Amino acid sequence: MASGEQLPAIKGAKVLMVGAGGIGCELLKTLALSGFQDIHIIDMDTIEVSNLNRQFLFRQSHVGQSKAKVARDAVLRFRPQISITPYHANVKDSNFNVDFFKQFSVVLNGLDNLDARRHVNRLCLAADVPLVESGTTGFLGQVTVHIKGQTECYECQPKPAPKTYPVCTITSTPSKFVHCIVWAKDLLFAKLFGDKNQDNDLNVRSNDTTTSSDHSEDIFERRKDEDIQQYANRIYDHVFGHNIQTALSNEETWKNRNKPRPIYVKDVLSDEPIQQNGNADKMLDNDNLSSLSAMAFLGLKNPQDIWSLKENSRVFFAALKLFFSKRQKEIGNLTFDKDDPLAVEFVTAAANIRATSFNIPLHSLFEAKGIAGNIVHAVATTNAIIAGLIVIEAIKVLQNDTKSCRMTYCLEHPSRKMLLMPVEPFEPNKSCYVCSETPLLLEVNTHRAKLRDLVEKIVTSKLGMSLPLITHGSSLLYEVGDDLEEDMVANYAANLEKVLSELPYAITGGTIITVEDLQQELVCNINIKHREEFDEEKEPDGMVLHGWTPAPAAENNKDATDNNGASTSSTSKSAPDVMEDDDELLIIETGIETIPAGGKKRKLSDVSNSDTAVDEKRSKKIPEQPENNGDVFVMLDDGNDDISERVSQ
């Protein structure tokens, strides 16, 4: 319970919580126990089994129900006298506009995606309502305070960009297990069980000149006279044997790399049949598709065991057989789902077989599921700590004690005998286009680029606008909305397909356009600079936006061709760019930031190499976390990373 001097501010406050997941459950409980009387919650998600190990307000009987509504009911059982209003909806819905936000004393974010965070940040700025942001990943966490005109807004500093992997690395020269996972999930699984007509680089080698006529056809098409085992053998030999063998013919590729080893069925399993456990027949007779498991079929029990090449091959064949024998109707429409045990087993086995070829250490099913689902192990205690810190900062804001507000970092290992590191908030960034309305500069070939390119690649993707309106002077070029007349919709659709310089009010070099989001009440001026040529590898969008500064690429790989780590071109495979689901996050190298004396934020990896003196009043140095082999999965998240569901069902 709060102290006596804090209670008036707390009891008179009207609080908006956005997110009722990992942090949200802890936050709602802490708010209720601290004396808050009027709480509103927005969350669009429903409860899943995998949430139950850390989102303690939920039970098995709640699976499938609204998180916001169940959280409300759970807290009212021990605080029946308070008011909690749940909204099972998307915070980006039009009814959650600036006027809606203006009714609140403070907004507390427990979100799990960058897009929604930016949206809430802009609404809070427009409504002049303080925002307390938060995020956790494993043992790490942070809480930041954003007050219009007094502190930097959420978008004043660049956010970590998603990790991308060039297709050539995935298909030809993997060096990390995550490369094998991406190959197994996004290429092999998609090719076997997804849309057969989708573009896929997996069997591109099938058309190579070869003496074998078998490879002139689409290898993934099952022949009419072929049983499942024959089909599986042919797929196995093609992707793990023939493709590797063909890749070895390019000697230049392997001058400075270890050569991979082709693997064929006969080398691993010979002619021995797949050994199944005694309950396999019962499994095949069971119509409950969610219980299908290659592990159970083979009698494998521990998901944390690392399977041998032979065991991985058996799981590969068993999973493929179960898909084609028991889930035939789904073939052609399947997409990888981290909550589908059979899909995870197949991807794990395929990734491990490929890893064996390239001499990459193998991983357990438990580890592979974490990588395939972009998952960090959740730590409920971290969520509870961060929720407590959110409430502490919210109370300071409500008491107008903004001078005492702190950005607080939760560390995994003590620094100066502290696990919680407070940092004084920074002033607004004068070059921030969101809170300082600084004009942006766009370099673009106005004779080639269409208005659609501008809208998709800049306005929605980079500027994060949901309902954009684009004007040139007093002329309206494009608008999105449900209340538009049909002729206006047709007119704007026609404009999308026109080259910029050929629009009714032409956009050329020297033009200034205004981009506005009516819902977010955000206005941006963009100066247009005509430019003829762009580097297709370094500038795949065919346009460059200045003044909007993305984070540097997560990995400086000489083979990488990403655009500041955020390319959406066909030259790279990336982790999810915008996280819509409750339990997804970005793959990046580091995430928790550290603030040196100069006022510029840096990543943890930068700190250990710096001898810069730190101004104790202005900032604290956060120690570098222990190095992790491979990629570090860091959350722009609400603590809802989904690793809890046991794989062995």
Residues annotated as part of the active site: 168
Chain centroid to Cα 290, Å, comes to 25
Q: How many residues does the chain have?
A: 649
Structure tokens given for 126: 């427009």
Query: Mapping DSSP to helix (H, G, I), strand (E, B) and coil, where does residue 316 land?
Result: helix
**Of 471, 484, 397, 517, the residue nearest 98 (C-alpha):** 517
- The DSSP string of 347-409 is HHHHHHHHHHHTT-----HHHHHHHHTT-----HHHHHHHHHHHHHHHHHHHTT-GGG--EEE
- Neighbouring C-beta atoms of residue 340, cutoff 10 Å: 18
For 476, phi then psi, to 5°, come to -90, 120
| CA atoms in the 13 A half-sphere facing the CB of 629 | 6
Contact 469, 434 (CB under 8 A): no
Helices (H), 52-136: 67-76, 98-102, 114-127
Contact 350, 316 (CB under 8 A): yes
Contact 147, 132 (CB under 8 A): no
CA trace torsion 403, 405, 411, 415 (10° rounding): 20
Burial 445-463 (b: 16+ CB within 10 A, else e): bbeebbbebbbebbbbbbb
Chain centroid to Cα 420, Å, comes to 26
Contact 307, 362 (CB under 8 A): yes
**Bridge partners, 144 (sequence order):** 133
| CA atoms in the 13 A half-sphere facing the CB of 384 | 7
Q: Please state, in angstroms and rounded to a whole number, the distance separating the CA atoms of residues 232 and 219.
A: 11
Q: Please state, in angstroms and rounded to a whole number, the distance separating the CA atoms of residues 529 and 636.
A: 33
Q: Please state, in angstroms and rounded to a whole number, the distance separating the CA atoms of residues 89 and 109.
A: 15
Chain centroid to Cα 492, Å, comes to 31
Judge residue 574's burial from the number of C-beta atoms within 10 Å of its C-beta, 0-12 exposed, 13-18 middle, 19 or more buried.
Answer: buried
Query: Mapping DSSP to helix (H, G, I), strand (E, B) and coil, where does residue 234 land?
Result: helix
Q: Please state, in angstroms and rounded to a whole number, the distance separating the CA atoms of residues 410 and 593.
A: 11
Chain centroid to Cα 263, Å, comes to 34
Phi and psi based region of residue 416 (left: phi greater than 0; alpha: psi -120 to 50; beta: remaining): left
- Calculate Rg over the CA atoms of the chain: 27
Which residue, chain included where needed, has tokens 């104790």?
Answer: 616
